[in-house]
Amino acid sequence: MSATFTVGLLLLLSLIGYVMGRSRAVTVAGGSIATLHSVPNYYGSFVALWAGLPALVLVLVWMALRGPVMDWLVLDGLNAQQIESWARVMLPPNDLQNLLSNIADETAALTETHRQLLLINIKNLAAGQALYVNPAVVDAIQPAADHLRNLRGLSDWTLFGAVAALSGGALAFCWSRINPDFRARNNVERVVTWLLILSSTIAIFTTIGIVLSLLFESIRFFTKVPVTEFLFGLHWSPQTAIRADQVGSSGSFGAIPLFTGTMLVAVIAMVVAAPVGLMSAIYLSEYAPKRVRSLVKPVLEILAGVPTVVYGFFAILTVAPFIRDIGTAMGLNVSSQSALAAGVVMGVMIVPFVSSLADDVINAVPQALRDGSLGLGATKSETIKQVVLPAALPGIVGAMLLAASRAIGETMIVVMAAGLQANLTLNPLDSVTTVTVQIKSILVGDQEFDSAKTLSVFALGLVLFAVTLVLNVVALRIVQKYREKYD
Amino acid sequence: MDTTTLTKNTEAVSTQPVKVSARDVKVFYGAKRALHGVNVDVYKNEVLALIGPSGCGKSTFLRTLNRMNDTIDICRVEGKILLDGQDIYDPKLDVVQLRARVGMVFQKPNPFPKSIYDNIIYGPKLHGLATRKDEFDEIVERSLKRAGLWNEVKDRLQEPGTGLSGGQQQRLCIARAVAVSPEVILMDEPCSALDPIATAHIEELIDELRESFTIAIVTHNMQQAARVSQRTAFFHLGDLVEVGNTEEIFTNPRDERTQGYITGRYG
């Protein structure tokens, strides 16, 4: 009896509930629907919702708890002898010695890693994948595998029964409550309101979850590396020795070079995007004839849809060599992965972002202000410079901040076009690295999770999150304040 | 039609010279004709009220007088409008200069999001009417006094103009228009967004401004037209039906449509 079948039953009961609820409402109305408090469909929905939702919650809770509970039951059912014979084959000698010294305590002797390994073996066996050449292992854990299989069957059947009972019971109860005075519409709408609230909180809880995980792992990182060293240190070299006997750098986690690198690239991007975006917004909203506008605006928005990875290879294959050639011709020493190339391409990427937002803001300036200025004998450009732009300024600043936060968090372009070396420099022709690039390069490849190197990723992520969050909040506040003024 | 209106025009003679004169003015929005040949004169130092039901073309006509219709792409104007005998639709004429001579006050108060002081000196600065700080100070004081706003705002000239009350904002806009020393001021329902007290204020002001300016005012409020204007023009469905001394229009209209409108049969 699979879970799919149970969910199918649930849907079926819901559907039956709808049909039954609706027809009973029609029946109790006795031919004049108008005597009902709500239209019949609401009575149907009422029964269907209550037949479906509580049982659905039961299924979800059951699914969430089933795994851990069964793991615990299965391991609890193993005796010391079985664990020992499994361990003799599967564990390395050192770990085996440890285990055997306190085997009397049965499963408690197992470390978390070994517990997982044992469970995987049992589950594979239960699934019929007898991959173990050594029959001793199979013998040892066969009872546990059987146990697991039984538990699974039992669980599915119990769930099926529980769902059928709960759903059917709710259906019968709700059905019996239907009478012409019953306020089905209010009831259904309340349930729907709760569903809406639930959906909207999912995003919020996800965000909170991400922030908390960033926070806790960062705290772990800061127990290994002092906060002050991370925030104010000038040297970034995250290579740490994996084993005690390994010859390697001790690792240093001063993130200032990453922050300056990120800022350098973002500033270059904004230097490109701000004037270009703003001026194209002014042209589009103030000067462009309707036809040009209706053509150019969608095209600009297509530019915003180009995948960043495409910009990335555009940066590294076209722009970077071009800049280096020019630099060399001028006698400058230009790195092949210069911050300039990455920044310029990133700037192009956020041009449509800036221009689209600024265009909205400029359009929101009331025509009355333009008329007032023109009516005083101002020219169009005087009106734009002295009335429209000052009026739109808060919104434009907001747009710039949103674009900047986009540039700071952008990853793909810098991964491809910026370097890996953490140079502390403000020279745009040098190679720099950014926070996002470091996060990516640290997490790619095999890492021990507890190492300072891996954990540093969370601290970097936290800083990145904090900066973009502040930028976004400030930007949205500015834009909002501005909107209130003219609406 | 055209000839009859012309004769009616000439009947309402003023002792003052003609300031603005419209001859056979037709306005089109795309293919739609909004005005069908309007002939009217505005005399110097008079207030001409433009009345008529909504959509009759009175605002459109007003906006042709300083070419504010230029900002609307699909709008086209035919005919002649003369300001002191000079055609304002002459391609050689600089529209910026025209608007400095023919100022405008709009329906909704539209102070710029700047300080009261900066609102007033906006126009004079553009046209280079003053250069030194004391000259600007003088313009600000004179304009605000003329608009009857000086006593209320003289201590807070650096505060934003948008922070004033609706009536004060509208007087600020009038002061702003006055500051460039125009010859003609066009007012497009300047009191429609204001309460009765603020309206009374503005009406008084219009009467005072008449001494120095020529004023054309669009209004929905017939009592207002009767109170502030010397002559009244009645528009209906894009036609100028009748123009004459205000008293006459309101007591003894010649046209049936005018009578219907002022007695409240439609409008």
CATH of the domain at A406: 1.10.3720.10
Within this chain, do residues A439 and A376 fall inside the same structural domain, yes or no?
Answer: yes
Within this chain, do residues A218 and A361 fall inside the same structural domain, yes or no?
Answer: no
The residues, ordered by sequence, that sit 6+ positions from A206 with a Cβ below 8 Å of its Cβ are: none
A33: tokens are 């629907």
Model ipTM? 0.85
Q: Does B104 touch chain A (CB under 8 A)?
A: yes
What does the DSSP assignment read for A427-449? -TTSB---HHHHHHHHHSS---T
**What is the four-CA torsion angle of A397, A402, A408, A409, rounded to 10 degrees?**
180
Q: Provide the angle, in degrees to the nearest 10, between the axes of the packed helices A135-177 and A80-90.
A: 120
Within this chain, do residues A278 and A377 fall inside the same structural domain, yes or no?
Answer: yes
Confidence of residue A137 (pLDDT cuts 50, 70, 90): confident
Confidence of residue A481 (pLDDT cuts 50, 70, 90): confident
Residue A48 has pLDDT above 90, yes or no: yes
Q: Please tell me the number of Cα atoms within 13 Å of A433 on its side-chain side.
A: 21
Domain boundary among A154, A182, A210: A182
Within this chain, do residues A13 and A41 fall inside the same structural domain, yes or no?
Answer: yes
Within this chain, do residues A345 and A462 fall inside the same structural domain, yes or no?
Answer: yes
Within this chain, do residues A155 and A265 fall inside the same structural domain, yes or no?
Answer: no
Closest in A289, A368, A378 to B106, CB measured: A368
pLDDT, one tens digit for every residue, chain B (267 residues): 444 444 444 444 567 889 999 999 999 998 888 899 899 999 999 999 999 988 888 999 999 999 988 888 888 899 999 999 899 998 888 888 899 999 999 988 999 988 999 999 999 999 888 889 999 999 999 999 888 889 999 999 999 888 898 889 999 999 999 999 999 999 999 988 888 888 888 899 899 899 999 999 999 888 899 999 999 999 998 899 999 999 999 998 888 889 888 888 765
Look up the CATH architecture of domain B2-113+183-262: 3-Layer(aba) Sandwich (3.40)
Q: What is the pLDDT of residues A237-293, one digit of tens each?
A: 887 665 556 655 567 888 899 999 999 999 999 999 999 999 999 999 999 888 898
pLDDT value at residue B10? 44
CA distances from A4 to A11, A128, A159, A160, A272 (A): 11, 21, 11, 10, 54
Whether A232 is in a domain gets the answer no
What does the DSSP assignment read for A206-244? HHHHHHHHHHHHHHHHHHHS-HHHHHH-S-EE----SST
Mutate to test the interface with B, among A290, A292, A374, A376 (most CBs of B within 10 A): A376
Asked if A485 lies within 8 A of B126 by C-beta distance, the reply is: no
The residues, ordered by sequence, that sit 6+ positions from A119 with a Cβ below 8 Å of its Cβ are: A71, A74, A75
Q: Does A288 touch chain B (CB under 8 A)?
A: no
pLDDT value at residue B186? 94
pLDDT value at residue B9? 45
A 10 A CB-CB count for A138 gives: 16
Whether A241 is in a domain gets the answer no
pTM for this predicted structure: 0.74
Domain boundary among A174, A204, A224: A224
The residues, ordered by sequence, that sit 6+ positions from B245 with a Cβ below 8 Å of its Cβ are: B12, B230, B231, B232
User: Where exactly are the structural domains of chain B?
Assistant: 2-113+183-262
* Residue A124 domain boundaries: 3-182
Within this chain, do residues A346 and A376 fall inside the same structural domain, yes or no?
Answer: yes
Distance from the first to the final alpha carbon of chain B: 22
Whether A396 is in a domain gets the answer yes
- CA-CA distance, A407 to A467, in Å (whole number)? 12
Within this chain, do residues A125 and A102 fall inside the same structural domain, yes or no?
Answer: yes
In the sheet where B239-245 sits, what is the strand order?
A: B102-105, B184-188, B214-218, B47-51, B231-236, B239-245
Kindly state the DSSP code that residue A306 receives in the 8-state scheme.
S
Per-residue pLDDT, averaged over A321-348, amounts to 89
Within this chain, do residues A379 and A469 fall inside the same structural domain, yes or no?
Answer: yes
Give me the number of domains chain A comprises: 3
Within this chain, do residues A170 and A205 fall inside the same structural domain, yes or no?
Answer: no
Query: What is the three-class DSSP state of B187?
Result: strand
- CA-CA distance, B171 to B203, in Å (whole number)? 11
Q: What is the pLDDT of residues A425-434, one digit of tens each?
A: 888 888 888 8
**Contacting residues of A for B111, CB less than 8 Å apart:** 372
How far does the CA of residue B205 sit from the closest CA of chain A (Å)? 20
User: A90-100: buried (b, 16+ CB within 10 Å) or exposed (e) per residue?
Assistant: bbeeeebebbb
Within this chain, do residues A419 and A367 fall inside the same structural domain, yes or no?
Answer: yes
pLDDT value at residue A277? 93
Closest in B68, B110, B127 to A369, CB measured: B110
Within this chain, do residues A166 and A203 fall inside the same structural domain, yes or no?
Answer: no
Q: Does A385 touch chain B (CB under 8 A)?
A: no
- CA-CA distance, B232 to A173, in Å (whole number)? 77
**Contacting residues of B for A374, CB less than 8 Å apart:** 68, 71, 99
Q: Does A28 touch chain B (CB under 8 A)?
A: no
Please give the interface size between A and B, counted as residue pairs whose CB atoms are below 8 Å apart.
Answer: 67
Q: What is the pLDDT of residues A432-469, one digit of tens each?
A: 888 998 888 888 876 677 778 888 899 999 999 999 99
| Helix ranges restricted to H, A108-134 | 112-126
Q: Does B66 touch chain A (CB under 8 A)?
A: yes
Asked if B66 lies within 8 A of A378 by C-beta distance, the reply is: no
